[in-house]
């Protein structure tokens, strides 16, 4: 099998499989099914404009019963979808660089964070740089950085982890790396069972700044040494972003602590935005299903799917609380709802 070169060092073969694009502690904050923030307890639900997928990790049988109708859950689905971690990819890193990420950054940052004292400035700078860079090169978080920025960040990460640099050389590396950030935290927000952890990233139209929500953490990054906020209207608020300290790697990391109310409002804004995007994708999916059914002779009509019918199906897909989360967005459910709408027009035509 042919392999690519490692995206970090650019020299060794990228033979590592299941490389996590998010550090384990962040993945645990977002997705631990029991809100414990412990590893290997993750349930990750990935929603895009056109699909919804669930990763269950090492989920116990009691949790399967909560998420799925056991009678509908097949071994094939468990193997092909539920075991597939959306935050991990194969063959982008070599084993040596993967180990360096873990030893140099991923294990040390959360250890220092737990002490309550400021995290070492060099460690924190390259930790968050590595998170943003990996999310970009992985290509599964809804954004991709401009190639020149991605390359510069990758080279800086490689130099920090593998270059054997002394502190002065690391400081010079930081000064020439186009990266600075404001870090926000609503501590223990995702420990509350009424809340849900989310990952959402948005690259600005200018492609010069990035906003991320990752569980309890919020991050706004500028790919320069001067900070200019271009965040979405529902991400915190302008006064908070302006007030938050800027981290450049030249002083100990500072975190701006956000109230539960403000973080919850940010989540609600994201959910509303996400529902609009997903609804657009669902309507496009329904249009394709309709045209396929016409082409196969399953229905005979002119024009597209009646709008009231599409709206009824869309509402059922998004809001039906009688269907368990793991069963809501399967191809079988699409088929069931379209058939129900055709067989029972009284459900949607008001007659």
Q: What is the pLDDT of residues 216-270, one digit of tens each?
A: 999 999 999 888 888 777 788 888 999 999 999 999 999 999 999 999 999 888 8
Secondary structure class of 66 (helix, strand, coil)? helix
Mean pLDDT taken over the chain: 85
Nearest to 145 by CA among 204, 88, 227: 204
pLDDT band per the 50, 70, 90 thresholds, residue 134: very high
Residue 2 has pLDDT above 60, yes or no: no
Per-residue pLDDT at 62? 65
| Residues 270 and 198 sit within 8 Å (Cβ to Cβ) | yes
Of 233 and 189, more confident? 189
Query: Residue 228 — left, alpha, or beta (φ > 0 → left; ψ -120 to 50 → alpha)?
Result: beta
Per-residue pLDDT at 40? 65
Q: Give the mean pLDDT of 49-70.
A: 65
pLDDT band per the 50, 70, 90 thresholds, residue 45: low
Residue 41 has pLDDT above 80, yes or no: no
The lowest-confidence range among 44-53, 192-201, 202-211 is 44-53
Q: Write down how long the chain is.
A: 351
The CA-CA-CA angle for residues 135, 23, 256, to 5°, reads: 85
The stretches of the chain forming alpha helices (DSSP H) are: 24-31, 61-67, 75-77, 95-100, 108-114, 121-138, 147-162, 167-176, 238-243, 260-295, 307-319, 331-343
Lookup result for tokens 């809100």: 35
Per-residue pLDDT at 16? 86
Distances (CA, A) of 333 to 41, 85, 313, 327: 27, 23, 10, 7
**Rounded-to-integer distance, Cα 57 and Cα 50, Å:** 23
The CA-CA-CA angle for residues 136, 94, 221, to 5°, reads: 25
Neighbours of 305 (CB within 10 A): 21
Per-residue pLDDT at 81? 62
Q: Give the mean pLDDT of 54-78.
A: 65
Burial letters for 108-131: b for 16+ Cβ neighbours within 10 Å, e otherwise? bbbebbeeeeebebbbbbbbbbbb
Nearest to 88 by CA among 27, 34, 33, 133: 27
Residue 137 has pLDDT above 80, yes or no: yes
Residue 8 has pLDDT above 90, yes or no: yes
Of 66 and 285, more confident? 285
């Amino acid at each position: 099998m042919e392999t690519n070169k490692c995206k970090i060092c650019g020299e060794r073969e990228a033979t590592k499989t299941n490389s996590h694009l998010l550090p384990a502690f962040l993945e645990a904050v977002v997705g631990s099914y029991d809100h414990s923030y412990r590893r290997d307890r993750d349930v990750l639900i990935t929603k895009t404009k056109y699909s919804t997928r669930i990763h269950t990790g090492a989920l116990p049988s009691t949790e399967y019963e909560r998420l799925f109708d056991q009678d509908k859950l097949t071994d094939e689905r468990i193997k092909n979808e539920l075991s597939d971690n959306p935050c991990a990819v194969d063959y982008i890193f070599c084993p040596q660089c993967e180990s360096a990420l873990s030893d140099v950054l991923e294990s040390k940052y959360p250890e220092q964070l737990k002490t309550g004292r400021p995290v070492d400035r060099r460690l924190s700078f390259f930790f968050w740089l590595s998170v943003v860079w990996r999310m970009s090169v992985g290509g599964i978080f809804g954004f991709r950085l401009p190639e020149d920025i991605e390359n510069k960040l990758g080279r800086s990460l490689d130099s920090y982890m593998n270059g054997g640099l002394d502190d002065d050389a690391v400081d010079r590396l930081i000064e020439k790396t186009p990266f600075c950030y404001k870090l926000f935290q609503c501590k223990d927000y995702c420990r509350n069972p009424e809340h849900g952890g989310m990952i959402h990233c948005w690259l600005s139209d200018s492609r010069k700044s990035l906003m991320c929500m990752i569980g309890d953490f919020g991050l706004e990054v500028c790919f320069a040494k001067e900070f200019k906020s271009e965040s979405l209207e529902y991400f915190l608020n302008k006064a908070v972003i302006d007030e938050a300290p800027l981290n450049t790697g030249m002083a100990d990391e500072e975190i701006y602590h956000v109230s539960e109310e403000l973080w919850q409002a940010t989540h609600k804004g994201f959910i509303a935005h996400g529902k609009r995007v997903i609804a657009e994708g669902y309507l496009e999916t329904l249009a394709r299903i309709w045209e396929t059914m016409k082409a196969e002779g399953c229905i005979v009509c002119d024009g597209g799917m009646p709008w009231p019918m599409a709206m009824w199906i869309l509402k059922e897909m998004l809001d039906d609380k009688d269907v368990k989360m793991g069963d809501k967005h399967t191809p079988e459910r699409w088929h069931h709802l379209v058939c129900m709408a055709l067989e029972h027009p009284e459900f949607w035509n008001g007659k």
